[in-house]
């Protein structure tokens, strides 16, 4: 991968990697902020806001945040793949991302936004806790 110009530039430039981190954090903020907003609605806050319209907006922004975080994360990964693959915090982060995706798939497969029941609340709370774990592991990578 080092032979490709974009990867070589990431390693050579003193500002490229920090800028990627800014993009990564911005994506995470969009993702988590909008998931928490939707979670509050699932828990009954802002009951006057129509859940479908709020979900369409917040999930679109959350998905955009995820795409930013994933793209920047892949580029950051490309600068040190072997070190990251041997880092337990990184592998736990990847596992938590998989679990977050499964949790989201279950939430939507059971049409939780139509039900707003106890299971929907548990799945939303679980989602937030998983994403906080992803955040924690992501930060911990530098210290492992």
pLDDT tens digits, 121-137:
999 999 999 999 999 99
Contact between 111 and 62 (Cβ < 8 Å) = no
Counting runs of H as helices and runs of E as strands, what totals does the chain give? 7, 0
In whole angstroms, give the CA distance from residue 137 to residue 139.
5
pTM: 0.86
- For the chain, the residue count is 144
Instruction: State how many domains the chain has.
Output: 1
Give the CA distances from residue 77 to residues 62, 84, 85, 132, 134, in Å, rounded to whole numbers and listed in that order: 22, 7, 9, 20, 15
Who has greater pLDDT, 95 or 9?
95
Provide the domain limits for residue 115: 5-143
15: DSSP letter:
T
């Amino acid at each position: 991968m080092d032979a490709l110009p974009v990867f070589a530039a990431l390693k050579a430039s003193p500002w490229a990697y920090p800028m990627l981190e800014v993009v990564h954090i911005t994506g995470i903020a969009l993702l988590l902020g909008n998931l928490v907003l939707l979670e509050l609605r699932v828990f009954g806050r802002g009951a006057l806001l129509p859940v479908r319209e709020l979900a369409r907006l917040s999930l679109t922004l959350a998905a955009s945040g995820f795409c930013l975080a994933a793209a920047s994360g892949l580029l950051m990964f490309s600068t040190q793949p072997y070190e990251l693959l041997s880092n337990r915090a990184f592998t736990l982060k990847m596992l938590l991302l998989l679990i977050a995706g499964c949790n989201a798939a279950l939430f939507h497969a059971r049409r939780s936004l139509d039900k707003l029941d106890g299971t929907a609340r548990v799945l939303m709370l679980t989602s937030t806790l998983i994403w906080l774990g992803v955040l924690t592991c992501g930060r911990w990578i530098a210290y492992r």
